[in-house]
Structure 1
């Protein structure tokens, strides 16, 4: 997002660092608020969230409703502010920038590595800790909404915000984004995932000239899946983007906001506009926007007038407010006293430790010729550290709303000097003269050259090359010392014309405040490199998927997404273009082998089980990331293969482990644009396992035949009774009940690949999309919402991810005509269901 402050060049383009005193700030502990007087009985109440929302809605005036759906126009104390409603005990909302830590110039915070570095860890547990640091520090600052994570797909390495996103693959971005959200929200702070959607460049941003001409299939397969993963992870809110998509601005785009996010994905949170990205009142309201930021130019007085005049239904305003209040109740904002303040010091030693671990795990070793690394005191007696980026201009963070002030910065020169100790001489040259630099390198055992590019919100890069000065410096140094190692601090892929001249290369991204400690640990082998590229590195700009002017940055008000689903490695692998370094690639100081591929299925429910053995064949402990790719039949027009699973493993020398992956029919499906849905056609699907998109030593197949129809038949529960459409009715709202099994059409259920249960052409549905215990289950038109998703669990339960609850026989009655409900998953017989087998 971009606040008015971020639109000023000084804020967007500065990486200024401020030295602050760090203080301990552990996990946030919230003090419960005292029970309010009878004027606010919903405060401190144990009633279900929806009931508490109803109580507020019964008392709130229209004017106050409008006050909740827009900011107050101020950037103080937070970048976005929604004032409290004291009479109703509705707390204020403070929205604060991320996603690499607390932004907007706040001090006393942790400067985490850029999100692209966290994505390069492929470590969901560490990503959850990354999010928890953000959540804890937001809470300590008194902010209630963290504007993160950024999960937009890196369509092109020139994107100015590539550094703050999670890579080029929707599966990886979805998994890492979901972990980030879980971590943030574990601290009682709402995560606002961004930016919905098809937002992939800064050129012409927030104008109709940035109109993405993109197919429905491309959106569903590439640009929307990570947002579905965010919705399933329970993201409280989503920010719409600066893009125009197929002729409509994203914050008033009915396909993105209503069809996909709210209906198809079952998203129950609220949608906030990026700062200044609201461009209408009536269209934005009806097409799914719930909150305008930072002011109320469209959702303030104009919205009030539109409701009074009948242009916007009062029920739509009510829906906006309900979505906001529901999340405020769910995260306890009504029930605890306000705490934290913008001036608080919220960084801590624990947070710095997390920052360092992400920087270490996220750095990717791209080349290590002749085993030049790790550096060994027995062979390395002197080190030449070269480049301004190693010292005075250490590139630790990107710019814009993702820029974070560091409490301190450990420069690479400081980190290397400290780690080298007294036994190794460390000398420094800033590289301004490639020849007091080449001479230093020639007289040293090893030369380590630091180079960078700078990315920031608000502008794109014109090239993917380093500066000519940096390229000349690296070449000059390498010519004098064959043991030259290059450390890159970039936000995305860069070219490397000197790659054959140097012995080693690290991509360290923007590593945050622990920069020098992390790179020193990696260079000396205290930490074994384990990062894997979340983006492909092309050999030249002519190789990228969006290589024409029409594709990037567009022409005549159109940005043609004509590469379709062939984004990133999908493009290089399908077109047989050899990248400089492929997606998923990264070296280690040990080696790994892959063996014993096992592929079984599909079983009765369309599940395919895959396993393989990973062995550490080297001499030291290390981690690798086992990656599973699926290649669809050629008839589908899908890319050669696509990531559908990954598992990080840490192994001692000689040790082996078995990695397991589970694929559903959805993982084998593509988006049928004519049917507006997912389909998995008959044919042979290729299964490949390895540790990059180009290193897949294990391959197998799974075959879907024309008789591989979805399972269809009776669904039985407690006492052998069957799920039944009462009276075989086709009316919406008809109860789904228990009844004697009778083999009629009212009991012939089909289990679809996306976990819907259909009967007589309609779907089993949680009434009114509600999520509370006791919500009745009914028959309803199939609409793709989360209210109609029923995921089978190993214990026989049918889990509804929208509510976090299970299909339940009330009271375990085992009585005919009992209408089923949602209830907390408890593993009892009242929640055990036997699905039909595939014929």
Structure 2
């Protein structure tokens, strides 16, 4: 597509810095603008990793009728079948309805499945193998339930604001750590035989104002969703980075997000889907909408949307932007034939990338009920039959969950009280140590915070098959050791707590938490996003009180991100602090393993622990700032989020990004840099092939009428058929009668060869292949100077050297298991992308002339080794 200059991608104007008057919408010309990019790129049959799938997809799609293609791309409607989303089946060709289902940390709304640690907790392991194994195990469970597309992993939100509600579903505010998490999870899911879905693309960084109806339900009078205003450089160097890693890993699908980006809805934003994702990154799979994130029909198709989820414009209306309307749009030429073919091709290529044949096992559960029998078409109440087969898909995944949660626990502080060794008297304090009195699954989608916190709330949750509480596991260990053990499982029994922990020989372990989740759940005034960064249920007062009464107080935090601990972390009576994240079903066992030294802690914090909320810079927009129009959230900090912002502001922190202690010690030495013989960077040139099509189809509208009376019609179900041969009445589209050239943006229906972007790869998903050339290898010697075996996460940072660059940026890491007294060699790699900046003028990656320095160390602020690159 044609080159887009920086001026077309300006995020906002300086004149817009002041908040808008509450009664006046900001002037449209002053709002951020997203440029049009058309036509929608078509699939490349020679793309790396996709050739075999493309051959199978072409063979299948070439047999499909127009009605079947529309059926494949349109959801059947909310609660119309068993999964959270399904498309129409192709029974003539033997393909059952494809199942799209939530599963970022386990399968949502089913039984006999596992509840895994969150993505954020997995990131805290800094262990590629564990991330892959987690992705594979979740994928196997999904496969066992009949799911075809897992709605995950998550890189949006990336984590711009620490209070954002769904940060825990993703990995880290650092794009490299998140990119590794995305790539390993994608590979794990798809090796298990299900399509991974990278979400939410892109700039989806908070819950407030993501949907108009949701916001109005909370009393906010807005007419359009939030606009995330992101400049071109920031988009490439920060938010797009981990999604590029997902594309390079071969991800089969993407989910576009609810909110707008530069005042264009994510699911009809041609710059995002056509320009960045399909053109620049060379994504070969399909893009599906978030549920009700589609706001238009033909225009969304032209902008790059390939699948409508859940199909209806609003839940349970039976009305669709696609379905019948898409059939008519193709017949009258508004949506070109190549586009519907490409949509079907992308879906089936992703399918064949993970499946050998179209003969699929049946879907054996219903998201809408755990009852064994019920209506298969839940919304319509029709088709009473067995809907749940209660298939147990857990296998031995409990062991993996326990391992990930333990190795993802970060030891923030330890003055010598840990590991525990048969302590004489253990007192466990706090609601977070105990069970929810109504059961771990008593709150829908975990929309409460009663008892120990093991996952956040919202669509990214799973039902617990069981939940091992810290109280249960620690009591079992104490009994085994012959220790005295008592627990007080409330935060508010001050006199009883003081009487207990003031006794002699007490090791007091205090459990506290902070929760958050998706915006459709409002828990205690937190509308998805956290209202503050303090501990919940008086947790800070609990910690301060116990540590005042007990000189050996250990604090364990379960949270969805950083919390403010400035008031108590440095108390000499607090001998240890651990962040245990969101550990999943084996919570108690995992923290017991770490506290007692069965697992030597090796987790590193995937975010910064700031001293104040203001220290993070960016924050959630809690009130509309554009009258009744779309709230405007300017990402004016650019690439400076989390540790990058703290470094730029030269602000002290409590615990830095990448920090984490061990029960042993490590010494770093002997950094060496080896330059590799990579070739020069060559911008991509040339053109694509013309758009592929599969022949003509009938334009006789009578061929598309709803089948005869014997065909089973289901209430609210979305079909591709027409009810009349009158095209205007069949469509119900006010624009009907306009030509495609009049209705659609310029070039939207162009099927001629298109120029390749310099930053794209001819056949390489992820961008220009030369971006991934290895330019340097960096090695260092790591010695275990302690007395026990331990795992050390070695972190490689780079200073890009420019005046507008962060002080350092993470670029690689490795986890080494080292015996006491032994030395291991760390090897880190630097690619061309790692050393490049995005140039908004040439619209390509460039390595600046500024001096580049490489650092190896234990965290973002503990970088003992350095070397200047040639």
Q: Same fold (TM over 0.5)?
A: yes
TM-score of Structure 1 vs Structure 2, range by shorter chain: 0.7 to 0.9
Give distance in 2, aligned partners of 1:315 and 1:228. Answer: 26
Mapping of 1:636-715 within 5 angstroms? 637-703=804-870
Shift of residue 517 of structure 1?
0.5
Equivalent residue number for residue 220 of structure 1: 236
Equivalent residue number for residue 319 of structure 1: 342
SS at match of 2:515: coil
Q: After the TM superposition, which of the residue ranges 465-474 and 139-148 deviates more from structure 2?
A: 465-474
Give distance in 2, aligned partners of 1:74 and 1:334. Answer: 28
Equivalent residue number for residue 184 of structure 1: 189
Equivalent residue number for residue 382 of structure 1: 425
Contact 1:669 1:681 in 2 (8 A): yes
Equivalent residue number for residue 357 of structure 2: 334
Equivalent residue number for residue 601 of structure 1: 675
Equivalent residue number for residue 782 of structure 2: 614
Contact 1:602 1:702 in 2 (8 A): no
SS at match of 1:400: coil
Equivalent residue number for residue 241 of structure 1: 257
Give distance in 1, aligned partners of 2:351 and 2:395. Answer: 30
Give distance in 2, aligned partners of 1:644 and 1:108. Answer: 39
Mapping of 1:360-759 within 5 angstroms? 360-369=406-415, 371-377=416-422, 380-392=423-435, 393-420=451-478, 421-430=480-489, 431-443=491-503, 444-458=505-519, 459-467=528-536, 469-496=538-565, 497-501=567-571, 502-547=574-619, 557-601=631-675, 603=677, 605=679, 607-635=775-803, 637-703=804-870
Give distance in 2, aligned partners of 1:312 and 1:364. Answer: 52
Give distance in 1, aligned partners of 2:620 and 2:122. Answer: 31
- TM-score, normalised to structure 1's length? 0.76
SS at match of 1:662: strand
Given candidates 318, 322, 326, the residue that maps to 1:299 is 322
Shift of residue 438 of structure 1?
2.2
Deviations 1:594-626 (A, max 9, x none): 100112336453712211111111111111110
Give distance in 1, aligned partners of 2:237 and 2:454. Answer: 33
Given candidates 295, 298, 308, the residue that maps to 1:279 is 295
Contact 1:549 1:555 in 2 (8 A): no
Give distance in 2, aligned partners of 1:210 and 1:608. Answer: 42
Change (3 A) 1:604 1:225: closer
Whether 1:206 and 2:211 are equivalent positions in the alignment is: yes
Give distance in 1, aligned partners of 2:260 and 2:144. Answer: 36
Change (3 A) 1:77 1:437: same
Contact 2:115 2:463 in 1 (8 A): yes
SS at match of 1:72: coil
Give distance in 2, aligned partners of 1:685 and 1:602. Answer: 16
Give distance in 1, aligned partners of 2:559 and 2:854. Answer: 33
Give distance in 2, aligned partners of 1:156 and 1:326. Answer: 36
Shift of residue 676 of structure 1?
1.2
Given candidates 391, 394, 418, the residue that maps to 1:345 is 391
Deviations 1:320-351 (A, max 9, x none): 11101112222226344425622333343511
Equivalent residue number for residue 149 of structure 1: 153
Shift of residue 445 of structure 1?
1.9
SS at match of 2:856: strand
Contact 2:406 2:590 in 1 (8 A): yes
Contact 2:208 2:621 in 1 (8 A): no
Give distance in 1, aligned partners of 2:97 and 2:175. Answer: 34
Give distance in 1, aligned partners of 2:420 and 2:60. Answer: 64
Given candidates 65, 68, 77, the residue that maps to 2:69 is 65
Contact 2:608 2:656 in 1 (8 A): yes
Give distance in 1, aligned partners of 2:231 and 2:611. Answer: 28
Give distance in 1, aligned partners of 2:200 and 2:584. Answer: 23
Given candidates 92, 98, 102, the residue that maps to 2:97 is 92
Change (3 A) 1:554 1:268: farther
- The number of residues matched between the two structures is 652
Contact 2:163 2:619 in 1 (8 A): no
Deviations 1:634-685 (A, max 9, x none): 34x1111101110011111111111112212221111111221111022311
Give distance in 2, aligned partners of 1:696 and 1:422. Answer: 40
Q: After the TM superposition, which of the residue ranges 516-525 and 465-474 deviates more from structure 2?
A: 465-474
Equivalent residue number for residue 332 of structure 2: 309
Contact 2:132 2:184 in 1 (8 A): yes
Contact 1:166 1:534 in 2 (8 A): yes
SS at match of 2:599: coil
**Structure 2: unaligned runs, 5 residues or longer:** 1-50, 213-223, 313-319, 366-388, 436-450, 520-527, 681-774
Give distance in 2, aligned partners of 1:437 and 1:585. Answer: 32
Contact 1:203 1:553 in 2 (8 A): no
Contact 1:434 1:472 in 2 (8 A): no
Contact 2:162 2:619 in 1 (8 A): no
Deviations 1:504-545 (A, max 9, x none): 111011111101101111111111011111111111111112
Give distance in 1, aligned partners of 2:243 and 2:358. Answer: 29
Give distance in 2, aligned partners of 1:341 and 1:581. Answer: 46
Change (3 A) 1:386 1:130: same
SS at match of 1:102: coil
Query: Relative contact order (C-alpha < 8 Å, sep 6+): which is higher?
Result: 2
Give distance in 2, aligned partners of 1:553 and 1:114. Answer: 31
Shift of residue 548 of structure 1?
8.3
Give distance in 2, aligned partners of 1:641 and 1:350. Answer: 41
Equivalent residue number for residue 268 of structure 2: 252
SS at match of 1:612: strand
SS at match of 2:869: strand
Give distance in 2, aligned partners of 1:578 and 1:353. Answer: 39
Deviations 1:228-280 (A, max 9, x none): 10011011111111120001011111121111111111110000101110011
Equivalent residue number for residue 357 of structure 1: 403
Change (3 A) 1:509 1:311: same
Shift of residue 206 of structure 1?
2.9
Give distance in 2, aligned partners of 1:427 and 1:283. Answer: 63
What is the aligned-residue RMSD (CA, Å)?
1.8
- TM-score, normalised to structure 2's length? 0.73
Equivalent residue number for residue 38 of structure 1: none
Give distance in 1, aligned partners of 2:413 and 2:624. Answer: 32
**Structure 1: unaligned runs, 5 residues or longer:** 1-46, 704-839
SS at match of 1:451: strand
